[in-house]
Homo-oligomer: A and B are copies of this chain.
């Protein structure tokens, strides 16, 4: 698999079973997305949760009830087959990881595609701003905060953030850059003292890996696409399907 593929080519490789690996670095320049599939009985609540919490849950596309095609960001796609790997959740418990969900698809399913931070990281790198976890070959560190999301129906939970350590000058530039990426979590939500948002140990992320923070740098925090997954676990819907971590849906949208 190569950087030079299009989003459509990566989706096709997933569909034919050739690609089951993580997607970071694939189809460079194309927007990647988090996936959540839910039955229509809870789809209104989840859509409202995303609407009320646009920083962690920026919606790139929402399918019609029963339709597995993401018509706006990826015409002719099929959400049942076009990701390399899925997780299936029943009543809030992860029950299996699979490479397609054709056998599970139902007429009442709705797919939600939610922006992720890969797009703004590419823009930061282009502006010569270091992205520490990429430099160190790690997953981005993510933390549960004490900031409550706005509840919608059965969905609630605290905001999860990702963190990148930056010098003050780079932090200012990164605010300017990421403010333009409203479909990719937008501007940071906090900068500096981690305890202020309920993070007690910056070296112990709740998800992903710890990264080095050098002298003269401060941690900068962005809303993170893991937030809706935490809300899902708390809501415990009868069934939910998501992408497996790092195994994203690649759209036709240029970053």
Copies of this chain per assembly: 2
Contacts of A22 in B (CB 8 A): none
Does A74 interact with chain B (Cβ within 8 Å)? no
Does A199 interact with chain B (Cβ within 8 Å)? no
Q: Which of A48-76 contact B (CB under 8 A)?
A: 48, 51-52, 59, 62, 64-65, 72
Interface locus among A39-47, A93-101, A123-131, A210-218: A39-47
Contact: B153 with A64, CB < 8 Å? yes
Contacts of A110 in B (CB 8 A): 44
Does A230 interact with chain B (Cβ within 8 Å)? no
Contacts of A62 in B (CB 8 A): 48, 51
A110 to B150: give the CA distance in the assembly, Å: 17
A196 CB, nearest partner CB in chain B, Å: 24
Residue of B nearest to A110 (CB): B44
A152 to B45: give the CA distance in the assembly, Å: 16
Contacts of A152 in B (CB 8 A): 64
Chain A 147-184 interface 0/1 with B at a Cβ cutoff of 8 Å (1 = within): 00010110000000000000000000000000000000
A36 CB, nearest partner CB in chain B, Å: 14
A111 CB, nearest partner CB in chain B, Å: 12
A150 to B152: give the CA distance in the assembly, Å: 25
A223 CB, nearest partner CB in chain B, Å: 18
A44 to B109: give the CA distance in the assembly, Å: 12
Closest 8 CB pairs of A and B: A44-B44, A43-B44, A47-B47, A48-B62, A64-B153, A44-B47, A47-B48, A40-B44
Please name 11 further chain A to chain B contacts, defined as beta carbons within 8 Å, in addition to the given A43-B44, A44-B47, A45-B65, sorted by A numbering.
Answer: A40-B44, A47-B47, A47-B51, A48-B62, A51-B51, A51-B59, A51-B62, A52-B72, A64-B152, A65-B153, A72-B150
A-B contact pairs, 6 of them (CB 8 A): A40-B44, A44-B65, A47-B48, A51-B59, A64-B152, A64-B153
